[in-house]
Amino acid sequence: MPPFPRTAQTGGGLTYVLPSSPAVGGIEGVIRAAVAMDRWLPAPSQVSTITNRLRAYIGGATAALESDTREEATAAVREARHRLGLGPGDGYASAVTYARSLGLVAKELRDLRRGLT
């Protein structure tokens, strides 16, 4: 169906639905979805799902990297904790921006953790 000007009918296809099962895609899929939010608009219900999963992952990753003495790891842990403390602001746009920023931090922490093994 084509878009219809001035009717708010876009013809669909503008939202992405994250698979609800944690087994589908895992944290890698959640990180990809969050980082890609600059190119697609997730359904509002999915923003909170993505944010909650990223917050849980970041909490575990920062605990695992606490003992890492590398300067980049220390800086990444500090930044991640700062972002967790901020929280989303009011409105959809702010929630999307916050989720995307958590995705970028989670990606950095994931890469640092891979460097430990």
Tens digit of pLDDT at every position of the chain (117 positions)? 444 455 544 444 444 445 444 434 688 999 999 998 888 888 888 899 999 999 999 999 999 888 888 898 899 999 999 998 888 888 888 899 999 999 999 999 999 888 765
Going from N- to C-terminal start, the domains of the chain cover 23-116
Please name the residues in contact with 112: beta carbons below 8 A apart, sequence gap of 6 or more.
65, 68, 70, 72, 73, 76
**3 state SS of 6:** coil
Question: Cα(38)–Cα(44) distance, rounded to whole angstroms?
Answer: 15
**Strand ranges (E), the chain:** 15-16, 41-42
C-beta separation of 32 from 104 below 8 A: no
Residues making up the chain, counted from first to last: 117
